[in-house]
A and B are shown apart, each in its own frame.
Chain A
Amino acid sequence: MMSKSRCLAGCVVLLVGSALVWAAQAAPDAAANKEKERQLIAVLRSDAPPAEKAITCKRLAVYGSQEAVPALTPLLFDKELSSWARIALEVIPGPAADAALRNALGTAQGRLLVGIINSIAVRRDVEAVNALAEKLKDSDPEVASAAAVALGSIGGAAAVKILEPALADVPALVRPAVAEGCILCAEKSLAAGQSAEAVRLYDLVRRATLPKQRLLEATRGAILARGPAGIALLAEQLESPDKAQFGIGLRTARELEGQEVTQALAVEMNRLSPVRQPLLLLALADRRDAAVLPLVLKTAGGGPKALRVTALEVLVRLGNVSCVPVLLAAAAEEDAELAGTARQTLIHLPGAEVDADLLARLPQATGKTRQVLIDLAGQRQIDGALAAIRSGLQDADAGIRGAAVQAIGVMGEAGQLADLVQLLQKSPSPRERADVEKALLAISGRWGASCVPPLQALLQSSDTTLRTVGLHGMAVAGGPEALAAVKAALADKNETIQDEAARTLSTWPNNWPADEAAAEALLQLAKSEQKVLHQVLGLRGYLEYVRGDKKLNNAAKVAKVRELLPLMPRPEEKRLAISVVGAVRTAGALELLTTLASDPAVAEDACAAIVSLTGRGLPGASRQQRQKALETVVEKSKNDATRKKAEEGLKEIR
């Protein structure tokens, strides 16, 4: 047994096997590498502990040559080090490693033998075929199975000659591995252009008594190896009542190449049940030949609804400008599912020529088609469509106006805000106003401060609803001018506008460096004593600013919350403060939470936060601080689970 110190030394060697150490050793200096190999071989021949020999094997995987093979070979029979030795032997070039593994076949037993066979398989050692044939007869099914798969990995006529009769002869436990070997040989034959031999092997496996999965693999191979002549066998799978066979049929329908195959599958689709038809259509759509598109397009144009929906959907992947008429007609249909599917496909259908086609149709289109085209122009952000979309804002048809509003929201710039403001001012419909507001906010969010001037027009309106929309727009646009406008609205004569300005300010985004001033305004609001609602909104907004501002360090966050606490009479805000402080992993946060735990209104929240914080490790918090906080939890909390966690934490500390 190795001494503890030696073992530890070995561990150190292994764990420091980092990039730098290895990289230094991997300098492309042949002489240095040779010397390194010599030293590594010496380790293997010494009485070094297994840990050291293990890492040495790994290094020999990089630096070893055939000279290392004699030192590695004895380890093949060591149950602790065999797998390490094979790491090197599997990759060392040259016949010496092959010979060592082959020779070991005669001596090794059980799992070690299985490993050696597996390594021979990886090296594809043709000279091992006869020895593997012997192992195929081994009474241990794991050994025989490994030999079968190894023969398959090596492949060739000699391997086939052994595997073919074995398919009938071997015990049932080994047969799946022999089948795997045959399938591997078939794959090699196919890759070498010997498709007849591949078909023969696949068919051989298909006729054997095997687990279903192996039969499915052979079936797939048999179809693909036959090429277009495999259609009949493929159809057999698709028509099979067996779910797994139908499944492999769907899979193979995607792989078997050729337009004649596509045509045959289209005919086959008509023979299937309504439930299976869409599944085959999906498979067809995954094929990549010219026969697919006309077929799918025809299906999309008419027929059973389920199939149409599928066809309309898959056109997105294989369609082109020629599909636009069919899709457009479907998108204008009454059936919501058909129309929605067609719309989605038109939105994503690739190609600049599709944009051009849609754009060309827009001027003369009317009714539902015009609505669809405007919607698509916006969704696809078609350059040059803006004029037509803007004209849609004046349309008498509410549907067309709605599509135009949405499209401008998606692709409009600050310049289009005036159009929206105008529509907002004259629209009596609350729904339309809501849609316009959405579009207006979307543009403001994208184009920021440049949107402030047109938004000012709204703030100057006499209509309170419009002024409210203007405030919302300012918050989304952001920047000093927008902030100033909202702050000014806090002093408005209209109380509704004051309240909305306070609400807007309380949800002001705080991640824009230009809007840091929002924090100060929120603090002022929190300290104002005019209206409780404003104070509450100010507090909440300021706390969210403290939580979200990435420039505030942890200490500043805790200090700001502490400063604010006297302004918080209500438990609701205190709870928000606890959630902000509870996310700050510092001793200061722990201390503040411990203080808050003494407030009966929020004690439970503070206790839960303390437990969570102490459980995640607290840089800078002393043992005493953690102990005191957890003791407070044990004393104050009425929640069994929280108390239990605190007690566990205390146990760890003590």
Chain B
Amino acid sequence: MSQGQVLLSRRRLLKTAAKAGAVLTLPYVVPGAVLGKDGGVAPSERIILGGIGIGNRGTYDLGCFLHEPDVRFVAVCDVKGERRKVVKEMVDNRYGNRDCATYIDLRELLARRDIDAVLIATGPSWHGTAAILAAQAGKDVYCEKPCTRNIAQSLALAQVFRRTGRVFQAGTQRRSLPNFVYAVELARSGRLGKLQTMYAHPMTLNVQSSGWLPAEPERSREDVDWDLYLGPAPWRPFNAKHLRSFDFEEGGGLVGGGCLPWGSHCVDLCQWANDADRTAPAEYEPKEGQLHARYANGVRLIIRMNGWLPLGSCPVRFEGDKGWVETGDDAELVASSPALLAGKGVKIPGYPADFHIRNFLDCVKTRARTRSDAEATCYAHIACHAANIALFLGRKVCYDPAQNEFPNDDEANRLRSEALREPWRL
């Protein structure tokens, strides 16, 4: 068993601290505290939350946040009028009032001094830029995945959250689910022997570039603010087909799609299993319909579509020289020996985010690192982006995670970043 793998219940600490009986002596009063006293949580202990771009996945996340007694959601920002309406209704119904404020422009929401933290679920094109803007505005961030468009943005994310001291949690909730945690523990603790090969499911290995569809009549700003919807993505005329936020820009613009959608979960888990949260594989090679990567410590990472046990979506498999384990969203664990599974935790299928969101909220209070902090997110995404670059170029690429460059490979280096549309910057 190695350090960092064990889940620490900070929630208990917070409860203990609250029970200590000492009144919080801080004069700092969260302005949002006047919003109510239900839930049995002292107003000064509440986390005042705002939401940016709350679509399907965001609505699920928001539901989890709303169930936490120490959260008060006060404002939603969305460039789509319909989503603003739906989310406001959801929140107001929950609190029994009409207080949830609505914004079209995220900068207005971020300017509110009462908001402590934001949930960002805009779609991948905006995630990284919005998260960085939020941190610079003094907000802690829970951000859905994929979190970045490219390698440069991944590095900027880590750097900005380090500089600002804000708390970041990527929506990679499998880091908080018992079956995945158990499998990772087996790999990290040496119970599988020396780790040899890890497998991650990418959802797809087809890399895509963003498109430009024929112009359609632009809608009113109240309906869809097209300029803000495009945000950091290069300009193109309005077309309703672009409005599927998760697919827009394929999550990466110049080099998108590929292993980003699920890799941000599965590759991320492999990074964790290999104790590689502060680094990334050094080699990436498309091979026989798979992507083969290798870390400097010799561990191999194979990103593949097929060859999985029927254990549900987002499966991972870790193989050591003494055993292996495989798991997926069904929450079942299959291992080379029954003995490896003795002591596994409760089974929680369906990849819920509650535990992960709770971890974020606890860290907002303790200022500790979250399970999926900005650094871990940075390098897991770098691994996905580098893999996509290899797929895009159709050849092997080598990456130096210390220098964050592809040595002597101008073609690949050029794909590390992509200019943001004015006026946005990282």
Q: Per DSSP, are chain A's interface residues mostly helix, strand or loop, or mixed?
A: helix
CA distance A309 to B165 in the complex (A): 26
Minimum CB–CB distance from A376 to chain B (whole Å) comes to 12
Contact (Cβ within 8 A) B16 A283: no
Contact (Cβ within 8 A) B206 A309: no
Contact (Cβ within 8 A) A250 B393: no
CA distance A309 to B10 in the complex (A): 11
The answer to whether residues A351 and B1 also contact, given A81-B235, A183-B163 and a CB cut-off of 8 A, is yes
Q: Indicate if A291 sits at the interface (CB-CB under 8 A).
A: no
Interface size bracket, B side: 35 or more
Q: Could you tell me which residues of chain A, from 356 to 373, have a CB within 8 Å of some CB in chain B? A: none
Q: Specify the chain A residue showing the minimal Cβ separation from B232.
A: A83
Q: Indicate if B278 sits at the interface (CB-CB under 8 A).
A: no
Q: Specify the chain B residue showing the minimal Cβ separation from A253.
A: B367
Minimum CB–CB distance from B324 to chain A (whole Å) comes to 17
Q: Could you tell me which residues of chain B, from 383 to 426, have a CB within 8 Å of some CB in chain A? A: 391-395, 410-411, 413-415, 417-425
Contact (Cβ within 8 A) B422 A212: no
Contact (Cβ within 8 A) A310 B4: no
Minimum CB–CB distance from A122 to chain B (whole Å) comes to 7
Residue with the highest number of chain A CB atoms closer than 10 Å, among B4, B17, B410, B424: B17
Q: Specify the chain A residue showing the minimal Cβ separation from B227.
A: A111
Of the residues B9, B16, B338, B391, contact of A278 by C-beta under 8 Å: B16
CA distance A112 to B234 in the complex (A): 12
Contact (Cβ within 8 A) A243 B26: yes
Contact (Cβ within 8 A) B211 A14: yes
Q: Indicate if B22 sits at the interface (CB-CB under 8 A).
A: yes
Of the residues A10, A58, A82, contact of B422 by C-beta under 8 Å: A82
Contact (Cβ within 8 A) B165 A286: no
Contact (Cβ within 8 A) B20 A306: yes
Of the residues A61, A116, A381, contact of B414 by C-beta under 8 Å: A61
Contact (Cβ within 8 A) B254 A213: no
The answer to whether residues A83 and B419 also contact, given A24-B394, A244-B28 and a CB cut-off of 8 A, is yes
Contact (Cβ within 8 A) A58 B368: no
Minimum CB–CB distance from A3 to chain B (whole Å) comes to 11
**Stretch binding the partner chain, chosen from A86-94, A537-545, A596-604, A617-625:** A86-94
Q: Indicate if B27 sits at the interface (CB-CB under 8 A).
A: yes
The answer to whether residues A11 and B211 also contact, given A18-B206, A62-B414 and a CB cut-off of 8 A, is yes
Contact (Cβ within 8 A) B366 A119: no
Contact (Cβ within 8 A) A242 B423: no
Minimum CB–CB distance from B214 to chain A (whole Å) comes to 5
CA distance A430 to B1 in the complex (A): 37
CA distance A411 to B338 in the complex (A): 10
Contact (Cβ within 8 A) B367 A316: no
Contact (Cβ within 8 A) A241 B27: yes
Of the residues B17, B212, B422, contact of A118 by C-beta under 8 Å: B422
Minimum CB–CB distance from B337 to chain A (whole Å) comes to 10
Q: Could you tell me which residues of chain A, from 234 to 260, have a CB within 8 Å of some CB in chain B? A: 241-244, 246-248, 250-252, 254
Contact (Cβ within 8 A) B341 A446: yes
Q: B-facing mask of A46-63, CB < 8 A → 1, else 0? A: 000011001100100110
Which residues of B are found within 8 Å of A349, using beta-carbon distances? 1
CA distance A19 to B415 in the complex (A): 14
Contact (Cβ within 8 A) A348 B6: yes
Of the residues B2, B17, B419, contact of A122 by C-beta under 8 Å: B419
Q: Indicate if B37 sits at the interface (CB-CB under 8 A).
A: no
Q: Indicate if B59 sits at the interface (CB-CB under 8 A).
A: no
CA distance A123 to B424 in the complex (A): 16
The answer to whether residues A275 and B17 also contact, given A55-B212, A243-B28, A313-B9 and a CB cut-off of 8 A, is yes
The answer to whether residues A91 and B417 also contact, given A213-B137, A283-B367 and a CB cut-off of 8 A, is yes
Q: B-facing mask of A270-298, CB < 8 A → 1, else 0? A: 00011100110011001000000000000
Contact (Cβ within 8 A) A381 B342: yes
CA distance A348 to B4 in the complex (A): 11
Contact (Cβ within 8 A) A11 B214: yes
Minimum CB–CB distance from A301 to chain B (whole Å) comes to 17
Minimum CB–CB distance from A188 to chain B (whole Å) comes to 12
Of the residues B12, B24, B210, B419, contact of A275 by C-beta under 8 Å: B24
Q: Indicate if B86 sits at the interface (CB-CB under 8 A).
A: no
CA distance A273 to B25 in the complex (A): 8
Minimum CB–CB distance from A162 to chain B (whole Å) comes to 19
The answer to whether residues A379 and B22 also contact, given A11-B214, A306-B17 and a CB cut-off of 8 A, is no
Which residues of B are found within 8 Å of A80, using beta-carbon distances? 235-236
Which residues of A are found within 8 Å of B208, using beta-carbon distances? 17-19
Q: Indicate if B313 sits at the interface (CB-CB under 8 A).
A: no
Q: B-facing mask of A110-125, CB < 8 A → 1, else 0? A: 0110111011011000
CA distance A217 to B137 in the complex (A): 11
Contact (Cβ within 8 A) B20 A11: no
The answer to whether residues A309 and B12 also contact, given A61-B418, A250-B367, A275-B17 and a CB cut-off of 8 A, is yes
Q: A-facing mask of B136-156, CB < 8 A → 1, else 0? A: 111000000000000010000
Contact (Cβ within 8 A) B3 A318: yes
Q: Indicate if B35 sits at the interface (CB-CB under 8 A).
A: no
Contact (Cβ within 8 A) A247 B165: yes
Contact (Cβ within 8 A) B138 A282: no
CA distance A189 to B187 in the complex (A): 40
Which residues of A are found within 8 Å of B19, using beta-carbon distances? 306
Which residues of B are found within 8 Å of A304, using beta-carbon distances? 20
The answer to whether residues A8 and B214 also contact, given A62-B414, A114-B422, A212-B138 and a CB cut-off of 8 A, is yes
Contact (Cβ within 8 A) B28 A241: yes
Q: Specify the chain A residue showing the minimal Cβ separation from B414.
A: A91
Q: Specify the chain B residue showing the minimal Cβ separation from A187.
A: B163
Contact (Cβ within 8 A) A446 B338: yes
Which residues of A are found within 8 Å of B164, using beta-carbon distances? 213, 216-217
Which residues of B are found within 8 Å of A55, using beta-carbon distances? 209, 212
Q: Indicate if B310 sits at the interface (CB-CB under 8 A).
A: yes
Q: Indicate if A508 sits at the interface (CB-CB under 8 A).
A: no
Minimum CB–CB distance from B368 to chain A (whole Å) comes to 6
Q: Indicate if B343 sits at the interface (CB-CB under 8 A).
A: yes
Contact (Cβ within 8 A) B366 A279: yes
Contact (Cβ within 8 A) B13 A313: yes
Q: Indicate if A220 sits at the interface (CB-CB under 8 A).
A: yes
Which residues of B are found within 8 Å of A50, using beta-carbon distances? 212
Q: Indicate if A498 sits at the interface (CB-CB under 8 A).
A: no
Contact (Cβ within 8 A) A220 B165: yes
Q: Indicate if B346 sits at the interface (CB-CB under 8 A).
A: no
Which residues of A are found within 8 Å of B189, using beta-carbon distances? 350
Contact (Cβ within 8 A) A309 B16: yes
Contact (Cβ within 8 A) A14 B209: yes
Contact (Cβ within 8 A) A18 B12: no
Of the residues A4, A111, A149, A242, contact of B26 by C-beta under 8 Å: A242
Q: Specify the chain B residue showing the minimal Cβ separation from A80.
A: B235
Of the residues B3, B28, B395, contact of A317 by C-beta under 8 Å: B3
Of the residues A4, A115, A217, A221, contact of B421 by C-beta under 8 Å: A115
Q: Indicate if B76 sits at the interface (CB-CB under 8 A).
A: no
CA distance A381 to B338 in the complex (A): 13
Contact (Cβ within 8 A) B422 A410: no
Of the residues B17, B342, B411, B419, contact of A86 by C-beta under 8 Å: B419
Contact (Cβ within 8 A) A118 B425: yes
Minimum CB–CB distance from A460 to chain B (whole Å) comes to 26
CA distance A170 to B222 in the complex (A): 35
Q: Specify the chain B residue showing the minimal Cβ separation from A111.
A: B422
17 more contacts with CB within 8 A, not counting A7-B214, A22-B393, A306-B16, are: A11-B212, A18-B208, A18-B209, A19-B207, A19-B208, A183-B163, A213-B138, A213-B164, A241-B26, A241-B27, A242-B27, A247-B367, A274-B21, A275-B22, A317-B6, A410-B342, A410-B343
Binding site for B on A (CB under 8 A): 4, 7-8, 10-11, 14-15, 17-20, 22-24, 26, 28, 50-51, 54-55, 58, 61-62, 79-84, 86-87, 89-91, 93, 111-112, 114-116, 118-119, 121-122, 142, 146, 149, 180, 183, 187, 211-213, 216-217, 220-221, 241-244, 246-248, 250-252, 254, 273-275, 278-279, 282-283, 286, 304-306, 309-310, 313-314, 316-318, 337, 341, 348-351, 379, 381, 410-411, 413, 446-447, 550
Which 5 A-B residue pairings sit nearest by Cβ, starting from the closest?
Answer: A23-B394, A115-B422, A213-B138, A17-B209, A350-B1
